[in-house]
Each structure stands twice: as C-alpha cells, then as structure tokens.
Amino acid sequence: MESFNQKLNSQLESWIGPRDQRVRGWLLLDNYPPTFALTVMYLLIVWIGPKYMKHRQPCSCRGLLVLYNLGLTLLSFYMFYEVNGLLGTEGGPEQSITNVLWWYYFSKVIEFMDTFFFILRKNNHQITFLHIYHHASMLNIWWFVMNWVPCGHSYFGASVNSFVHVVMYSYYALSAIPALRPYLWWKKYITQLQLIQFFLTMSQTMCAVIWPCSFPRRWLYFQISYMVTLIFLFSNFYIQTYNKSSGSPKKEHENGSLASKNGHANGTPATHKKLRAD
C-alpha cells in the first residue's frame, strides 16, 4: 500500500506540481486513498441505507440532531471567527490559517452525517443529486486544496461558507425542537444566502484572474467552474421549490410548523416532505 501511495503521490505531483510541505504528516492529508475511501463509503451508505431502512421504522434522533447541528454551528463559527481574526494580524498568519482550514476540510467528513440522518429518519426525498454532489465533491476538492494551495485565496470561500453554515446549522438545530418550528420564518433566505456566497466566491476568484497574483491560475479556473455548477444546481433548486410553493400560501403552515418545500429540513419530521439544498 505504501508503494501505491508513493506512486500515486508522484503522479499527482507530476500533473499538479509540488505539494505544500506545511501540511505534511497531517491527519488524512498525506495520501489521497483515505479521502477517496471515505467518499466511496459515503456513496455506498447512500445507496444501501434506504434499502436497509425500507421495512424499518424511522428513527427520531431528535436530541442527537440538536447536538449535532449545534456542534456544527459552533465549529463553523470558530472557523469563521479564527480565519477573519487572523487576517488582521501581522507577522504572516498563513500557518495559523492553514491550521483552521484543516478543520474546514475535516468538517466535510462530519457533514456526511447530514445524509445519514436523512436515511435514519427515512427522509429519502432529501437525498437529491444536488445534496450528494455537494457533499461528496467538497471533501475531495478540499483534500487537493489543502495539499497544494492551503492558504492564499483558499481562505475566502471557506470563510464565507463557514458564516453561511453558522446560520444554516443553527436553523437546523432550532427546527429539531418542535415548539420552535412555528417561529422559524427565515429558512427561504438560507438558500438565498447560499447563492450569494457562490457569487461572492466566484467574483473574488475572477478578480484574482484579472489582477494576477502568485496563486496558481489553474486553481482559479477550477474554482470558477465549480462555483458555476453550484450556482446552476442551487438556482434550479430554488426555482423549483419556491416558485411552486409560492402559489399555495395556505400550505405555509401545517400542524404548527412550516411545511413549504425548501432546502433545510434535517431537524423536521419526514411527514412534512421538505427538501434541503445542501
């Protein structure tokens, strides 16, 4: 296995260039197969999980959902606060930012639990192409980012996404508490916030292309391309969800909770048939 990893690493470096030595020896970063294996495991669970749960009762997981979403809210806040705080310091904070960005990479492993909760709660309608594509691709992309460009422009998208996740996962935590659901009026704006982050990240990346810096251009082009796919998929989700539901205002409240289809529902009952975009 070690020989295979060495050959793969050499091949990747011949294609992409030398790796950043600052992350050498960090958990999961030395070799690509562990990240790839985690992704394959995720996809297998997405495929097998609903079949396993088909003739079983859905799990409530209410208390666990509150803790899980609260934990991701706090982690996202930590990453957003730390990255933006370090940007204002002197003395070259790149290593410190790289340390925080490792947590951002690892958070993408943790976020696989979003899908696993859907499976356990039998919310299979939530497991869309957009949801799977977003979760599986982000982990793999960030393995490459951490190995080749763990600082520089890479901080921006992670910082904005962490802020969005503070809002998003705090909503999920609150929505897992039935008594609070009637007061959660702002879920529609989470998808809008997600779209804004993609446009901001793409705009910032385009500025780096127009006014060149030392950041590798191929990474900038890749990021722009990836943002385009997310803008397309999330916009399609938004149009399909809110344009269709806007014609039925009477269905906005059902059994004391918001029931219109939207992108945010890992804390709500399967009977509400909500969708979520991420």
Question: Can you list the positions of beta strands (E) in the chain?
Answer: 253-254, 257-258
Burial of 76 (0-12, 13-18, 19+ CB in 10 A): buried
Instruction: Return the sign of the alpha-carbon dihedral for residues 160, 166, 172, 178.
Output: negative
Partners of 254 in beta bridges? 257
Residues 5-47 have pLDDT tens digits of 999 999 999 999 999 999 999 999 999 999 999 999 999 999 9
pLDDT recorded at residue 135? 99
Distance CA 181, CA 272 (A): 12
Residue 277: band (very low, low, confident or very high) from pLDDT cuts 50, 70, 90: confident
- β-strand 253-254 against 257-258: which pairing, if any? antiparallel
Cα gap 186→188, rounded to integer Å: 6
Radius of gyration of the chain measured on its C-alpha atoms: 20
User: Which residues does 35 contact at the CB level (< 8 Å), separation at least 6?
Assistant: 28, 139, 140, 143
- Amino acid found at 6: Q
Q: What is the pLDDT of residue 255?
A: 31
pLDDT score at 90: 59
- The whole-model pTM stands at 0.88
CA 196 from centroid of its chain's CA atoms? 15
Q: What's the CA gap between 83 and 162, in Å, rounded?
A: 10
**What residues contact residue 119 under an 8 Å CB cut-off, 6+ apart?**
45, 46, 49, 50, 53, 127
> Residue 165's pLDDT band (boundaries 50, 70, 90)?
very high
71-119 pLDDT, tens digit per residue, is: 999 999 999 999 998 876 655 578 899 999 999 999 999 999 999 999 9
Q: Which of 101, 213, 214 is nearest to 161 (CA)?
A: 101
Q: pLDDT at residue 262 above 90?
A: no
pLDDT, averaged across the chain: 89
In the predicted structure, residue 273 carries a pLDDT above the cut 60 = no
Q: To the nearest 10°, report the CA torsion of 219, 221, 222, 228.
A: 140
Determine contact, residues 225/239, Cβ cutoff 8 Å.
no
131: annotated active-site residue: no
Residue 112 confidence (pLDDT) = 99
Question: How much is the pLDDT for 274?
Answer: 58
Q: Which of 55, 125, 131, 134 is catalytic?
A: 134
